[in-house]
Amino acid sequence: MPEQKTDPGKNGVKPDTEALRRENRDLRMWQEQFLAILDALQEGVQVVNRNGVVTYVNKSFEKILGEQAADRLGKNIYEISPNGALVETLRTHKTVFGKIHTTLNGKKVVSSNSSPIKIGGVEAGAVCVFSDISDIKKMSRLLERNEQQIRQLKERVQGFAEASYTLDDIIGGSHSMRSCVELAKKVANSGVTVLLSGESGTGKELFAHSIHNASKRADAPFIKINCAAIPEQLLESEFFGYEPGAFSGAVKAKMGKFELADKGTLFLDEIGEMSLMLQAKLLRVLQDKEVERLGAVRSRKVDVRVITATNRDLQQEVANGNFRQDLYYRLNMFGIHIPPLRERPDDIPLLARHIIDKLNREYESSFTLTPARAEAMRQMPWPGNVREMENYLGKLVLLSQDAQEDEAVAETSAGGAPEEPALSSLEEQEKRMIFKALEKYGYDLVGKQRAAKELRIALSTLYNKLKKYKQD
C-alpha cells in the first residue's frame, strides 16, 4: 500500500480547511457587522494609522463634514487637517476632548474627541469621533438673544414711569392759571407736541404729567429726561440707546428714552440746554418717527408724544443762533406759558395751605398758616416760584415746635407790610434747623447721614452748610 502524502501544517497536523473557512466567514461577518454599526452611528468616525494616513471614515463623517470618503482615504491628516484633534493626539499621544471647529463649507459647527489606538501595547494610530453641535450652538445663540431681550424688557419695565399728577392737582384760582389748565385740557388728547415755558419752579413738569394723564396715552409709559442734568457726551446715548460694541464699555445693548417711551409720552425738560448737533437728530426723529441706536445698522419705528419744557426764551435763542428755528417750530406746535408766582399773588395762600397740609402729614406736625403769615407770603417776590415756596415752608414746618420763632420769621411788621428780613432770616432758621438735627442724631458720619435725610438735602450739601455756618 503506497504511503499517503500529508500536509503536516503546524505541528505536523493537517489543518481543518472547513474550520478555516468558517473562521474566515465569521471574521468577515464580524467585520461587516462592525462596519455596519459604525455607519449606523449618528457621530462621524475617522481613523488614521500611526503615520497619520486616513484608513477609514464612516457615512456619518461624510454627512457631518460634507466630504466624501474618497477625498479622505489615503490622505495624510497632517496635510488635510493640521489643526484637528487627530493631529493633536498623534503629537501628544493623549486623548483630546471637545475640540470645536467649523466645517469647510462653514455650515456646521463640529465637536471632536480623539484617542490613541493601541494594539498589543503599541500605538498603531488614532480614532476621532465627530458630533454635529450646530443645533446646540443655534439654541445657545437663541438663548443669548432671548436673555438679551429679557434684559431689555427688564430695562424697559424699570424705565417705565407713571405720571404722578393730574390736572386736578394743579392748585390755583387765578385767571392766568385757569387759562393754562383749560389749554392743557384742550391739547391733551390731540397728540401734538407741546412746549411748556416759564421760569424755574412754576410747575412745568406738573403740567407735563397732567397732560399725559389726561391723554389717550395715560396707560402707556411717561418717560422724562432733564437735558441739562446729563453730560453732553452721554445725552445722545440716553436719547437713542446703543448696541454692544458701539463704544468702549458698551458690552450689551441699551434702549434709549425714545424706545422706552414708545406708545407713551417723552418729557424733555430744559430743552433749551440741548446742543445744536443733538437738536438736528431730535428733529429727524420727530419728522421720521424712527430712532437709530448708536452702532446700529437699522432704524426702529417709535410712536412717541413729545412734551418739552424750558425756562429760556427760545425765540431769542433762535435769534442768537443757539437753537434751530425748524426744531423750535416743530416743538412749539402748541405752547403753554405758565406765569410766575409773583404775577398771581391770589394763588399764594391756596398753594401754601396745600403744601403745608402735605408737610404736616409727612412730618406729623400741626403747623398752621395764620392770616398774618399768609399776607406776608403774598408780599414776597418769590424769585424761585413754587419750588422756593416749598423749600421755605418745609423749613417753617420743621421748626414749628418753637412757635415763637416761627412767628418771628413770617409775621409782618406792625404796619402790616412784609419786612425785608422775612426771607433773609431763613438763613438763621436753616442754621438752627441743621444743628438741631445734628443734636438729635449725632455729629458722627451716621448721624450726619440721618440728619441730611431728615432735612431732605444731600450729605455733601450738609457738609457745605456746616463749613459755612462754622465761620459765622
Q: Do 158 and 255 share a domain, yes or no?
A: yes
* 128 domain residue, yes or no: yes
SS3 347: helix
Q: What is the pLDDT of residue 455?
A: 79
298 and 381 in a common domain: no
* Sign of the CA dihedral with 352 first, then 358, 363, and 369 last: positive
Q: Give yes or no: residues 317 and 355 share one domain.
A: no
* Cα–chain center distance at 98: 36
- Asked if 375 and 416 count as a contact pair (C-beta separation under 8 A), the reply is yes
3 occurs within a structural domain: no
Tell me if 176 is assigned to some domain: yes
Cell 432758621, residue located: 429
pTM: 0.56
Residue 110 in any domain: the answer is yes
What is the extent of the structural domain holding 32?
A: 16-132
Q: Are residues 216 and 274 in the same domain?
A: yes
Amino acid type, 297:
V
| 121 and 211 co-located in one domain | no
Packed helices 403-410 and 371-379: angle between N→C axes, nearest 10 degrees: 40
Number of domains in the chain: 3
Same domain, 197 and 302: yes
Q: Answer with the one of 78, 102, 132 that is the final residue of a domain.
A: 132
Specify if 233 maps to a domain: yes
Judging by DSSP bridges, how do beta strands 54-57 and 44-49 pair with one another?
Answer: antiparallel
Q: Residues near 342 by Cβ (< 8 Å), separated by ≥ 6?
A: 381, 382
Assess whether 404 and 302 both reside in one domain.
Answer: no
Closest CA to 302 of 154, 156, 165, 149: 156
Query: Could you state, in chain order, the average pLDDT of each consecutive group of 10 residues for the chain (472 residues)?
Result: 48 63 73 74 88 89 83 89 90 89 75 89 89 71 66 57 81 91 93 93 93 92 87 83 72 82 92 91 91 83 94 94 95 94 91 90 84 87 88 81 45 36 56 82 83 80 78 45
Give the model's pLDDT for residue 127: 92
Q: What is the CATH number of the domain that holds 248?
A: 3.40.50.300
User: Is the domain of 335 the same as that of 359?
Assistant: no
Residue 301 CA: distances (Å) to CA of 258, 289, 304: 10, 6, 10
Phi first, then psi, for residue 109 (nearest 5°) are -110, 130
Q: Is residue 11 part of a domain?
A: no
Spatial distance between the Cα atoms of 461 and 442, rounded to a whole number of angstroms: 17
Choosing from 339, 370, 390, the residue where a domain stops is 339
How far apart are the C-alpha atoms of 143 and 149, rounded to whole Å?
Answer: 10
* DSSP, residue by residue, 122-158: EEEEEEEEEEE-HHHHHHHHHHHHHHHHHHHHHHHHH
pLDDT, residue 430, reads: 74
In a domain, 249, yes or no: yes
347 and 324 fall within a common domain:
no
177 phi/psi in degrees, rounded to 5: -75, -35
Same domain (yes/no): 367, 222: no
Q: Are 311 and 386 in a shared domain?
A: no
Task: Say how many Å lie between the first and final Cα of the chain, rounded.
Answer: 148
Domain final residue, candidates 107, 132, 157: 132
C-beta of residue 246 within 8 angstroms of C-beta of residue 305:
no
Residue 126 within any structural domain of the chain: yes
Strands 265-269 and 222-226: what pairing?
Answer: parallel
CATH number of the domain encompassing residue 125: 3.30.450.20
Q: Are residues 93 and 209 in the same domain?
A: no
Please report, as a single letter, which amino acid is at residue 388: E
